[in-house]
Every structure is written in C-alpha cells, then in structure tokens.
Amino acid sequence: MTSRTLLNIKDLNISVKHRGSRRPLVHDVNLEVHAAESVGLVGESGSGKSMTIKAAMRLLPKNASVEGAVEFEDRDVNRLGRRELAQYRARDVSLIHQDPRAHINPTRTIAQFITEGVVHTGAMSEDAALERACALMRDVGITDAEKRLAQFPHQLSGGLLQRVMIVTSMLTSPRLIFADEPTTALDVTVQSDVMAILLEQIRDHHVAMLFVTHDLDLAAAVTDRLAVMYAGTIVETGASSDICGQPLHPYTAALLRSRPSTTEVRRPIAIPGSPLSAYEVTSGCSFASRCSFAVDRCRTEVPHPRLVEGRTVACHRVEEIADQFQERAS
C-alpha cells in the first residue's frame, strides 16, 4: 500500500436550510483515503455517511451548504469548473449506489446506461466504452455480454444489475470508488458474490475505495482502515483490525457488542436509546446521551479528535475507560 493521499476531506461541515435556520448534518469531518487503500465509513442510519460521500463528489442537494475542503490529488473539488468537475466524476472517481434499480433509467438499455456518461464527457468513445464494458462484464462473471448490453434493466436480476454497476464504475479506470452500501439492497444469497467481485476488481485494478456501511464486521473484513461515524462526526479512525480487536471509543465498543458473534456464544447487547442526527445534538459529546461512561464534562464539552495509540479518537475519557470495554466484553 502506498501512502500517497488521493482524497483529503478537511474540516467538512454540511448544513441544510430548515424552517428559516441552518440544520447541521455533518460536523468537522476529517478523512483521508490513500492510493489503492480501502477505507470503511461505518455508522448507524442518519449518521451522515452518504452526505459525506455526496460532498466528496460534489453531489449534495442544492439546499446544502458546505464548509471545509474536499481535495482530490491536491485539487479542491469545490473549486473545479464545470468541465473539470464532469471529468473528475467521469475519470477520477466513481460511485456505486445501494440500490441499482433506483439509479438506472428503466427505458434505456444496459449499453446506453454504461456508456452515456463517459461518451457525454468525452472520456471515451462509444466503441471503446462498449469494448471495455464487454471485457469487464466477462471479468465480473456476466456471461453473454452482448446480449445483456441490448437488454433493459427490468430483464436483469438485482445481483446482475449491481455487477453492471461495478462494470460502469470501473469503465474509465478511476483511482477511487465510493461504494455506498453496495450490497445492502441485494438478496442475501448474492450479497457475498457481489462483494467478492467488487473486491477483486479494486484489487486487480489498484483502485482505492471508500466503503460505506452500517455493518462493522463487513467493513473490517474488506478494508484497511475504518472511520466510525456518529451523529454527523467521526468518533474513531484507525486500522480496521485494531478498531475491531480493541475499540477505544465507547460508541465503537457498543457497536461491536451489539452485533451477533460468529465465534463466541453471547447475547448481543443493544445500544440504549436511538441514533441521533447531528442537528439533534445540543451540547458536549454527540454520544453522551447513550454512553454508560459519560460524566458531566461529556455533556457540556465537545471532545476533539486526538491521537491515542496510533488512532484518532474523540472521547474525553478514552485513557480511563478503554480497558473496561475489554472486561465487559469478556
């Protein structure tokens, strides 16, 4: 793995207009993805994972305002002109959505879907795009590529359609793929096949990936590093194996305890309360209202991310409490 930084998200804040005031959705997010590295962005529903990815592609809704910087190879994505932005989205990065059917035009053929973006931006000619699409379709296990290209989305199963999405995302040999819950909407029987194909593609083509999921185990299994997000902010970042082996933030520890284990017999322990969105946090640590370790300071003072044991952790009490997670888990 090389340490060349591809994507650098710095102090990202996203808010939307709501009834005359601004509602924060993402708060002070810092995240780097290096060349050929896989990073997992993990957190409960509403924590701001998709918003962060949309900001990185400059695809946020019109009512959203953004502060901070999104840099791709030292270029500020928010300052790219129209043409450069189209090229950035067509050549440098690509996006795989959760539900392929929701992002494909049902009246266009698979060939039109795969090629129209790259042909429109001038990234590839139609013939070159179709030729590469056929080769990639074979690589991802789609037999009869020519026949599939002439079909319409409703003629393909969900798993096959997500393979088409992987082909589309690889077409221009991007350096970074944003995969936003790429298998969640699929039948469980095909989830692992599609995940394996995606991993094979990024490995074979040396592509970096920012992998969004609420499944901490899956993220840990397929990524080098993890960023754990809660209520619009990142609470812990570090090597995937370190985070899952010995969480330092109480939220990460609670997430790990809340999932069923395949290796030990124990009852999953639900995290008390409900997940919050950034705008629901009034003061102090965003996790304080659900944290069994919270003290007064946690409820009043925002914990800033700090370097602890080679990881970045946003918790006032990390040095005092991390050992107790291990005791509780055993």
Ligand X SMILES: Nc1ncnc2c1ncn2[C@@H]1O[C@H](COP(=O)(O)OP(=O)(O)OP(=O)(O)O)[C@@H](O)[C@H]1O
Distances from the Cα of 32 to the Cα of 35, 176, 243, 260, 321, angstroms:
10, 12, 17, 30, 27
The answer to whether 10 contacts ligand X (rule: CB under 6 A) is: no
The answer to whether 213 contacts Mg ion (rule: CB under 5 A) is: no
CB 194 within 8 A of CB 162: yes
87-146: which residues touch Mg ion (CB under 5 A)?
none
* Shortest reach from residue 46's CB to ligand X, in Å: 4
CB-based contacts of 104, cutoff 8 Å, min separation 6: 113, 153, 161
**Residue 56, φ and ψ in degrees, nearest 5:** -70, -25
How would DSSP label each residue in 84-107? HHHHIIIIIEEEE-S-GGGGS-TT
Strand duo 233-239 + 75-76: pairing:
unpaired
Minimum CB distance to Mg ion smaller for 38 or for 50: 50
Sheet arrangement for strand 75-76: 21-34, 5-18, 64-72, 75-76
The answer to whether 50 contacts Mg ion (rule: CB under 5 A) is: yes
Site string for ligand X, 197-236 (x = CB under 6 A): -----------------x----------------------
The answer to whether 183 contacts Mg ion (rule: CB under 5 A) is: no
CB 220 within 8 A of CB 244: yes
The answer to whether 305 contacts ligand X (rule: CB under 6 A) is: no
CB 284 within 8 A of CB 317: no
The answer to whether 52 contacts Mg ion (rule: CB under 5 A) is: no
12-41: which residues touch ligand X (CB under 6 A)?
16, 25
The answer to whether 61 contacts ligand X (rule: CB under 6 A) is: yes
Give the separation between CA 246 and CA 252, rounded to whole angstroms. 9
* Shortest reach from residue 50's CB to Mg ion, in Å: 3
Of the ranges 30-38, 48-56, 248-256, 261-269, which one interacts with ligand X (CB under 6 A)? 48-56
What's the angle, vertex CA 119, arms to CA 114 and CA 125, rounded to 5?
A: 105
* Shortest reach from residue 81's CB to ligand X, in Å: 25
User: Which neighbouring-strand residues pair with 233?
Assistant: 230
Task: Identify what 117 binds: ligand X, Mg ion, none; CB under 5 to 8 Å per kind.
Answer: none
The answer to whether 128 contacts ligand X (rule: CB under 6 A) is: no
The answer to whether 260 contacts ligand X (rule: CB under 6 A) is: no
The answer to whether 97 contacts ligand X (rule: CB under 6 A) is: no
274-303: which residues touch ligand X (CB under 6 A)?
277
Task: Identify what 59 binds: Mg ion, ligand X, none; CB under 5 to 8 Å per kind.
Answer: none
By CB under 5 A, name the binding residues for Mg ion: 50
By CB under 6 A, name the binding residues for ligand X: 16, 25, 43, 45-51, 61, 214, 277
